[in-house]
Structure 1
Amino acid sequence: MMAGMQTLALLPWPDLLAMAWFLAAWVGYAWYSRRASVHGATLLATTNRYRRYWMLQATSRDPRVLDGIIVQSLSSSPSFFASATIIIIGGLLALLGTTDKAAEFVREIPFATRTSMLVFELKMLVLIGIFVYAFFRFTWSIRQYTFGALLLGSLPAPEEFAAGKFDRERFANRAGTLVGMAAETFNDGVRAYYFAFAAIAWFFSPLALAVGAALVVAVLYGREFHSQVLHVLRD
Structure 2
Amino acid sequence: MIGFATLDIVALVFFMASWVGYHYAVELGPHAANSLNMRMNLRRQRWVQEAMARDNRIVDTQVMNGLQNGTAFFASTSLIAIGGALTLLQSADRVVAIFADLPLGETPTRAVWETKVIGLAVIFGYAFFKFAWSYRLFNYCVILIGALPSARAHTAEEASRAIHETVEMNISAGRHFNRGQRAFFFALAYLGWFLGPVAFIGFTAAVLTAMWRRQFGSDAARIFRHEAVGPVLPHEQDTP
| Residue among 188, 192, 202 paired with 2:193 | 202
After TM superposition, the structure 1 = structure 2 runs for residues 14-25 of structure 1, keeping only pairs within 5 Å, are 14-25=7-18
| Residue among 140, 143, 150 paired with 1:150 | 143
Is 1:50 aligned to residue 43 of structure 2? yes
What SS does structure 1 have at the residue aligned with 2:63?
Answer: helix
The one of the two structures with greater contact order (alpha-carbon pairs below 8 A, sep at least 6) is 1
Structure with the bigger percentage of helix: 1
After TM superposition, the structure 1 = structure 2 runs for residues 11-90 of structure 1, keeping only pairs within 5 Å, are 11-36=4-29, 40-90=33-83
TM-score by length of 1: 0.90
What SS does structure 2 have at the residue aligned with 1:158?
Answer: coil
Equivalent pair of 2:15/2:204 in contact (CA under 8 Å): yes
Is 1:183 aligned to residue 174 of structure 2? yes
Unaligned runs of 5+ in 1: 1-7
Equivalent pair of 1:100/1:117 in contact (CA under 8 Å): yes
> Residue type matched to 1:50 in 2?
R
Is 1:100 aligned to residue 93 of structure 2? yes
What SS does structure 2 have at the residue aligned with 1:115?
Answer: coil
> Residue type matched to 1:225 in 2?
F
**Cα distance in structure 2, aligned partners of 1:56 and 1:146:** 19
Deviation at 1:151, TM superposition (A): 0.8
Residues 35-90 of structure 1: per-residue CA shift (max 9 Å, x gap): 14885211011001111111001111112111111111111111101101111111
Equivalent pair of 2:54/2:151 in contact (CA under 8 Å): yes
User: Greater CA deviation, 168-177 or 203-212?
Assistant: 168-177
Deviation at 1:234, TM superposition (A): 4.4
> Residue type matched to 1:16 in 2?
I
Query: Which residue is 1:229 aligned to?
Result: 220
**Cα distance in structure 1, aligned partners of 2:105 and 2:183:** 24
**Cα distance in structure 2, aligned partners of 1:143 and 1:106:** 42
**Cα distance in structure 2, aligned partners of 1:23 and 1:159:** 51
Residues 159-203 of structure 1: per-residue CA shift (max 9 Å, x gap): 113xx3644344223312211111111111111111111111101
% identical aligned pairs: 31
For residues 92 and 67 of structure 1, do their structure 2 counterparts lie closer, same or farther at Cα, with a shift above 3 Å needed?
Answer: same
TM-score by length of 2: 0.88
> Residue type matched to 1:92 in 2?
A
Is 1:132 aligned to residue 133 of structure 2? no
Equivalent pair of 1:37/1:45 in contact (CA under 8 Å): no
> Residue type matched to 2:93 in 1?
D
**Cα distance in structure 1, aligned partners of 2:161 and 2:117:** 47
Deviation at 1:156, TM superposition (A): 0.7
**Cα distance in structure 1, aligned partners of 2:199 and 2:149:** 55
Equivalent pair of 2:25/2:31 in contact (CA under 8 Å): no
What SS does structure 1 have at the residue aligned with 2:53?
Answer: coil
Equivalent pair of 1:36/1:42 in contact (CA under 8 Å): no
Is 1:172 aligned to residue 158 of structure 2? no
What SS does structure 2 have at the residue aligned with 1:109?
Answer: coil
| CA RMSD, Structure 1 to Structure 2 (Å) | 1.7
